[in-house]
Amino acid sequence: MIRVNQIKIKIDLERAFSKEEVKGKLEKHVCKALRVDRGQIENLEIIRRSIDARKKPEIYEVYMVDVKLKGLDEGKVLKKCKDKNVSFVEQVVYEFPYKCVNVAGTKRPVIIGSGPAGLFCGYELARNGFKPLILERGADVDKRTEIVEHFWETGELDERTNVQFGEGGAGTFSDGKLNTMVKDKDGRGRAALKIFVENGAPEDILYDAKPHIGTDILRNVVKNMRNRIIEWGGEVRFESLVSEINIDGNSQITSVKVVDQNTGNTENIECSEVVLAIGHSARDTFYMLSDKKVDMKPKPFAVGFRVEHPQTLINLSQYGVESPKALPAAPYKLTATTDEGRGVYSFCMCPGGFVVNASSEKGRLAVNGMSYSKRDGKNANSAIIITVDPKDFGSEDVLSGVEFQRKLEEKAYEIGGGKIPVEYYGDFRKAIRPDLESKTSDGLVEDRTNTPNMRGQYTFANVHEILPKDLNEAFVEGMEKFGRMIKGYNSDGALVSGVESRTSSPVRINRDESGESINVKGLFPCGEGAGYAGGIMSAAMDGMKVAEFVAAKMI
Ligand code: FAD
């Protein structure tokens, strides 16, 4: 296969090109680069599409394509063309390495959690004949959507089913960004994207540099995946909380105790392979695992706030125009290091999105970001977070990070009276760094007309009272630095809400090279909660990897 890279197509800001027009432009470029005729192209597959706005407002789409030629020796074609952007490639295609033809007599693998890690693990195991049982504490996606909408409207939280718990996991009410920093040398990433497409996601996620599907599409994908798992002989039980794992004298897992979340009835399910894909918010489950002496360590994570700006301000900075018709709402990525050496960075940025109340415990409040596939909300939002490590937690306990998060969330709940607390950045900065007052001066400084775009009730409050002083100072230092990267980022009118505390897991549940817990046989820590992923894609990829570990053990 021949790969042609760096094909640039200038974007008409007023009108998006149709798929056919793009195909025509790509073919024309490929013919010129390879010195072939259109008729000699058997297949042209887009591998990657990104946006180059370095010369804004002149903006380009940059493509990488793989080309299969008809009746031509590709080696000879390559030899003739001296273009550094043309090369020979062999596509890595992922294949699940095991098949189970008969599970009779074997206990089926149990997966705890139906977030991307558990769901993709279950999908691969079911597709290959291992008939997994998925146990999910929250409700199925339809019931869950009603419960979450009710919470956002009334503030009445259901601790059993919420933005963190239920079918699809924490990613269901998300922005649905599907990019990851994890290298894809085994092809699992591409295979995961193909599974998304097989289950209803649009095909362009296979090649977009920043793939995104939005919560509306994700909810359907998750449901379709569940139905496939069931068709292939797997089972998915909702509102089924695993409250205990049982381990015998040989450190082998023997069963899990399941509590029906509606009736309170309990059941013991015998099993020898259990995938622990519980996410980063199952604090009761972390405590249960700690009581069972499962090997785990505290780990650094990050905390901070959600910051909202008008999307037009971000578009102007990234594209040079406020509302280009042919381009998606612009994303951004920002990082800085404070004078004290703390990392401050943007995280889970949602163009055209909503800030959501993502709480899962009564009396505690956490925020996050979500968007729909169109990303047409009026604001851009992003977490701006600061790294914290066990030194900040104030205790040596393995779960000290959990208690640190809880304290911040209690404060956020208290200052907002249960509603999302919001503060204009100008007021926040004045409270923390009054010395900086005279230093900000652009046209946007006095503009406090923008309003929050949120799912969940909100109120204006002293957000600057949530974090400890040093973290607040780091946040302001970061914001001021970001104001030099995006004009207006540190304006008085930026909206700051909190607290952003569920950025990644506060613990790592250690596993060995065969994927099992260091000290409990048959227990397979997986995904974000175990510290092996951060985000939907990496959790999905880890789920697939753990499916291989489980299958290898069972076969
Ligand atoms: P989770 O998705 O957290 O799934 C764990 C599941 O296990 C949950 O459904 C939970 O109910 C269940 N569970 C826990 N304990 C038990 C138990 N004892 N018994 C039974 N079931 C249990 N990431 C991105 O990459 N892109 C985004 O755009 C993005 N946006 C986000 C927006 C929001 C609002 C939130 C909250 C998160 C977002 N994330 C995003 C992060 C992403 O959702 C997570 O990284 C990902 O879901 C982690 O996957 P996971 O399967 O490891 O865990």
Q: How far is the CA of 49 from the centre of ligand 1 (A)?
A: 28
pLDDT at 405 over 90: yes
User: What is the SS3 assignment for 470?
Assistant: helix
Mean pLDDT of 325-353: 95
Q: How far is the CA of 164 from the centre of ligand 1 (A)?
A: 6
Mean pLDDT of 224-242: 98
Model pLDDT, residue 107: 80
pLDDT at 106 over 70: no
Q: How far is the CA of 156 from the centre of ligand 1 (A)?
A: 21
| Sequence ranges of the domains in the chain | 2-88, 110-297+507-554, 300-500
Mean pLDDT of 353-374: 96
Give the model confidence (pLDDT) of 137-158 as tens digits: 999 999 999 999 999 999 999 9
In this structure, what DSSP letter does residue 521 have?
A: B
| CA 119 – CA 229 distance, rounded (Å) | 9
Q: Quick check: 178 and 205 in contact, CB under 8 A?
A: yes
Q: How far is the CA of 69 from the centre of ligand 1 (A)?
A: 43
List the structure tokens of 191: 């295979």
Model pLDDT, residue 439: 52
User: What is the SS3 assignment for 503?
Assistant: coil
Residue 355 CB contacts under 8 Å (≥ 6 apart), including other chains = 306, 308, 367, 368, 369, 381, 420, 452, 453, 454, 455, 456, 497
**What confidence category does residue 479 fall into, taking pLDDT thresholds of 50, 70 and 90?**
very high
Q: Which of 165, 242, 289 to mutate to test the pocket of ligand 1 (most atoms within 8 A of CB)?
A: 165
Closest ligand 1 atom to residue 368 Cα is 34
Model pLDDT, residue 446: 55
Whose CA is closest to 147, among 132, 163, 131, 133?
Answer: 163
**What confidence category does residue 539 fall into, taking pLDDT thresholds of 50, 70 and 90?**
very high
- The domain made up of 110-297+507-554 has a fold known as FAD/NAD(P)-binding domain (3.50.50)
Model pLDDT, residue 184: 85
**What confidence category does residue 396 fall into, taking pLDDT thresholds of 50, 70 and 90?**
confident
How large a percentage of the chain has pLDDT more than 90?
A: 87
Model pLDDT, residue 443: 43
Mean pLDDT of 94-107: 80
Model pLDDT, residue 140: 98
pLDDT at 102 over 80: no
Q: How far is the CA of 68 from the centre of ligand 1 (A)?
A: 39
Q: How far is the CA of 255 from the centre of ligand 1 (A)?
A: 24
pLDDT at 441 over 60: no
Mean pLDDT of 472-494: 95
**Same CATH topology for 2-88 and 110-297+507-554?**
no
ipTM greater than 0.90: yes
Give CA separation, 301 vs 283, 304, 472, in Å: 15, 11, 16
The pocket around ligand 1, CB under 6 angstroms, is made up of 112-118, 135-138, 163, 165-166, 169-171, 173-177, 241-242, 277-279, 282, 285, 348, 356, 358, 368-370, 527-529, 533-537, 539
| CA 35 – CA 369 distance, rounded (Å) | 48
pLDDT averaged over the chain? Answer: 94
- The domain made up of 2-88 has a fold known as Alpha-Beta Plaits (3.30.70)
pLDDT at 542 over 80: yes
Kindly report the protein residue whose alpha carbon is nearest to atom 26 of ligand 1. Answer: 177
Give the model confidence (pLDDT) of 27-75 as tens digits: 999 999 999 999 999 999 999 999 999 999 899 999 999 999 998 898 9
Model pLDDT, residue 375: 92
Model pLDDT, residue 183: 82
Alpha helices in 388-462 (DSSP H): 390-393, 400-416, 425-432
Give the model confidence (pLDDT) of 163-211 as tens digits: 999 999 998 998 888 988 888 889 999 999 999 999 999 999 999 999 9
> Strands 495-500 and 379-388, how do they pair?
unpaired
Kindly report the protein residue whose alpha carbon is nearest to atom 15 of ligand 1. Answer: 278
Closest ligand 1 atom to residue 288 Cα is 18
Model pLDDT, residue 444: 45
